[in-house]
């Protein structure tokens, strides 16, 4: 066997000290999640939230965002999010609230073009 081939073969088999595990900066799951999951609200949904006087606090928006992100990981593209006070249609694909209504109004509606439902307390 040619000396050069033996040397290349040995180098391929031996671990390269330069390629051993390097110290990778750790990013917390929560940091990654908060960057990925910010929900936007469509103009239509903003109007509906305002005219129907639907109030959703920051904590609940965060919870909605997290659940929409989880749904997206399971293949959901469009979801109905039900809270105690509101019903939101959310595009998980775009991370966008498409429309909003209060729960009493939502009770008499048929929701189409959704493939998942998220229930929140």
Q: State how far the Cα of 41 lies from the Cα of 66, in Å rounded to an integer.
A: 15
Distance CA(109)–CA(30), nearest Å, equals 35
Cβ(59)–Cβ(90) under 8 Å? no
- CA distances to 64, 69, 101 from 81, rounded to whole Å, are 8, 12, 11
- Chain centroid offset of residue 50 CA: 25
Q: State pTM to two decimals.
A: 0.69
CA–CA–CA angle 56, 31, 36 (5° rounding): 65
Tell me: the pLDDT tens digits for 18-66?
Answer: 544 444 445 555 554 454 558 999 999 999 999 999 999 999 999 999 9
Give Dmax over CA atoms of the chain in angstroms: 83
* Rounded percentage of the chain residues whose pLDDT exceeds 70: 69
Between residues 103 and 25, the one the model is more confident about: 103
Q: What is the pLDDT of residues 70-94, one digit of tens each?
A: 999 999 999 999 999 999 999 999 9
What six digits make up the tokens of 26? 């750790």
């Amino acid at each position: 066997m040619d000396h050069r081939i033996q040397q290349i073969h040995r180098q391929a088999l031996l671990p390269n000290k330069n390629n051993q595990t390097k110290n990778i900066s750790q990013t917390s799951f929560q940091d990654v999640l908060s960057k990925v999951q910010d929900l936007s609200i469509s103009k239509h949904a903003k109007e509906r939230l305002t005219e129907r006087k639907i109030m959703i606090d920051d904590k609940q928006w965060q919870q909605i965002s997290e659940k929409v992100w989880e749904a997206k990981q399971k293949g959901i593209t469009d979801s109905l999010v039900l809270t105690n006070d509101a019903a939101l249609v959310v595009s998980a694909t775009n991370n966008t609230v498409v429309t909003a209504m209060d729960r009493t109004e939502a009770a008499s509606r048929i929701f189409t073009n959704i493939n998942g439902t998220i229930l929140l307390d």
